Amino acid sequence: MRLTSLITLDLSTIAEQHICCAMSDKKAQQGVQLKKDWLACRFEEGLTFTKLDVRGKVFIEYLPAEKVWAPVDAPGFLYINCLWVAGSYKGQGHGKALLNEALRDSLGTNGLVTLTSATKRPYLADKKFLVSQGFEVCDTAPPYFELMIKRLDNRAPVPRFKECAKRLQLEGELARGLVVYYTNQCPFTDHYANAELEEIGKEFGIPVKRVRLTSREESQSAPAAWTTYSAFYDGNFLTHEMLTKGKLKSLLKNRQ
């Protein structure tokens, strides 16, 4: 596979092209359309979605950090929402090729910034890979989130998580039962924050609530660093991973 066979989606191609991460998962079909609608709106704000021209999960998504749907202050940087190379495409240089696309577009800016974690976790960028490409940690947010940057201008202000990202606690009516904050940035969130969450509530006999973040302003004021999906239980942060009944049972057992 040629490393140069990359395509960048835009308003004229988003309808016909797949968006990689939920190609054959029937549970995510409605979520795929919601994600495409979300992307279409973000293209006008400078978002770039570039993927390998194959039917596989190999893509990068980034936009100006001022437009990011996350509680991060990083003026003048480009923010990488997602960089994913999966399956048989790993180990062939595709991740570096995709990152180079973002680096090329970041020329003239302060650099690149993205969210990762202290240890490798689902959905978050691979810290080990980022370190190998010259990224460094510039801030942290509990319980395990890290903000990493690749500087192009050493005079630029250092990006930081907003204080709300370090709160990890809900109050009032939201401090009871299971509460999930989510956006349409990922095609899987629609199913797991709705149908799956409904089943979880019935199985465990607990109240469930959903808070769908529908704007950049709401997302930049979110109570956790990862806005794509964040679950809270009895007011406290539980996980950024999408919950199933088995996953919740395991998490609650570990909290005892």
- Specify the pLDDT at position 55: 81
Which uninterrupted H or E stretch holds 104? helix 94-105
What pLDDT, on the 0 to 100 scale, is given for residue 26?
72
The mean pLDDT value for 199-219 works out to 97
* C-alpha of 219 from chain center: 12
Percent of the chain with pLDDT over 70: 96
Q: Are 42 and 19 in contact (CB under 8 A)?
A: no
Q: Is the pLDDT of residue 50 over 70?
A: yes
Q: Which domains does the chain have, with CATH numbers?
A: 6-162 (3.40.630.30), 165-255 (3.40.30.10)
In the block, residue with structure tokens 């950090």: 65
Tell me the pTM: 0.94
Omega of the bond leading into 207 within 30 degrees of 0 (cis): no
Q: What is the mean pLDDT of residues 21-31?
A: 73
Q: What is the pLDDT of residues 115-138, one digit of tens each?
A: 999 999 999 999 999 999 999 999
Q: Residue 56's pLDDT is what?
A: 83
Which of these, 231, 176, 246, 180, lies nearest to 206 by C-alpha position?
176
Quote the pLDDT of residue 21. Answer: 65
